Amino acid sequence: MKKIISSLFVLSFLMLLLVSCGKKGCTDPMSLAYDSEAKKDDGTCTYPDDIKRALVFKATATWCPPCGDWGHQYANDVYNDFPESAELIAVHNDNDFGVDIGYSLLSALDPQGFPAFFVGTEDMGYTGYSTISNALMAEILESNQVSMATSYSLEGNKMTVKVQSQLENSFSGEECYLAVYILEDGQVATQQVGAPGAGVPDDNFVHNHTLRAEASGEPFGQAITYVDGKNLTEFEVTLAPSSIWVHENCYPLAVIWKKNGSDYEFINQSK
C-alpha cells in the first residue's frame, strides 16, 4: 500500500511539474498581457497601438444652465463625430462632482466661463462647435509621437491600471508625464438646463465622463522615463465607497503630457 501511495505521489508531482514547465502565455514583461507563470510564449502578448488620438476637457457645473444645454450637446457631438479617436473629461466646479484634482485642473486651464472646452490645454473660446471639431481633426492628423495601450482590473475598491507606451517618429520622450484620470459614467444628479439665468432643473440628468481622481494625485500626472524607447507603469488606485462612486462605471483614461516650462502639451491618450 505504501508503495502504491508513493508511486501516486511521484506521478502527481511529475504531472504537476510537466504542466508548470509547459504553461503557455505571454512571456514578455513589457507587454500588458504578461503572465509571470508562463514558460512558453504563445503569441498572446499585446503592444501599444500606433494611433494618434485627441483629448477634450469640458469645464462644467451642475448649477450652470448652458452646461446642460449646448455644453451637453457639444460633448455628445465629440463622441459622435470622433468615435475611438477622442475622449472627453468633464471637470466639475460644483458641490455634486467637484474634486480636488478637478479644481487643480481648472486652475491650470483657467476657463473664462462655464461651460468651456479645451482641446488638450488649448481654450476653444466661444465661436461654436466647429472650432472644437476643427481642432480635434488637426490633432488627430498630427504625426504620432507615443504609442499607447492601457489595461485595468477591479477588485473591490481597488483598481489596478497598467499603461504601456512606446516612442515613435524620433520623439525624444524627455520631460514626459503620465496621468491616469479615473472617470465615471452614469451618475444621475440634478442639472440646470437652458439659457444663462433661465435654467430649468433636470432631476434625471445623466452625467458621463466625470473626473473622479488621478492616480498619482497630480493634475498632469507623474514624470516617466523611457528605456530603449519603452515604458510600462502600473498604478493601484483606491476608489471611494460604492455608495459614492459606482465602481463598475469607473474607468481609467491614460494621458501622456510633455512639460514645457510651466505648461503641458498633450501628446496622446489611451482608454
Q: Looking at residue 7, what is its pLDDT? A: 55
Q: Is the pTM of this model over 0.85?
A: yes
Contacts of 130 (CB under 8 A, 6+ apart): none
Q: Give the separation between CA 193 and CA 195, rounded to whole angstroms.
A: 7
- In this prediction, residue 29 carries a pLDDT of 82
Question: Which residues in 156-207 belong to E strands, given as ranges?
Answer: 158-167, 176-184, 187-188, 191-193, 200-202, 206-207
Q: Which amino acid, 120?
A: G
Residue 140's alpha-carbon distances to 25, 87, 143, 169, 212, in angstroms, are: 34, 12, 8, 15, 26
Single out the residue of 111, 115, 141 nearest to residue 128, CA to CA.
115
Residue 92 and residue 72: Cα distance in Å, rounded?
13
- Cα 145 to Cα 130: distance, rounded to the nearest angstrom: 26
**CA 57 from chain center: how many Å?**
13
Where do we find the cell 499607447?
Answer: 148
Residue 86 contacts residue 71 (beta carbons within 8 Å): no
Instruction: Residue 88: name the closest of 126, 43, 33, 129 by CA.
Output: 129
In CATH, what number does 54-270 get? 2.60.40.10
Domain locations in the chain as residue ranges: 54-270
Task: From first to last of the 271 residues of the chain, give the pLDDT tens digit.
Answer: 555 545 555 555 545 544 455 678 788 887 877 878 888 877 767 789 999 999 999 999 999 999 999 999 999 999 999 999 999 999 999 999 999 999 999 999 999 999 999 999 999 999 999 999 999 999 999 999 999 999 999 999 999 999 999 999 999 999 999 999 999 999 999 999 999 999 999 999 999 999 999 999 999 999 999 999 999 999 999 999 999 999 999 999 999 999 999 999 999 999 9
Which cell numbers in the block locate residue 162? 497598467
Confidence at residue 20, expressed as pLDDT on a 0 to 100 scale:
52
Rounded Cα distance between 217 and 212, Å, is 11
Q: Which residues contact 213 (CB under 8 A, 6 or more apart)?
A: 99, 101, 181, 182, 237, 239
**What stretches of the chain show up as alpha helix (H) in DSSP?**
2-21, 65-68, 70-81, 100-109, 129-140
pLDDT at 31: 82
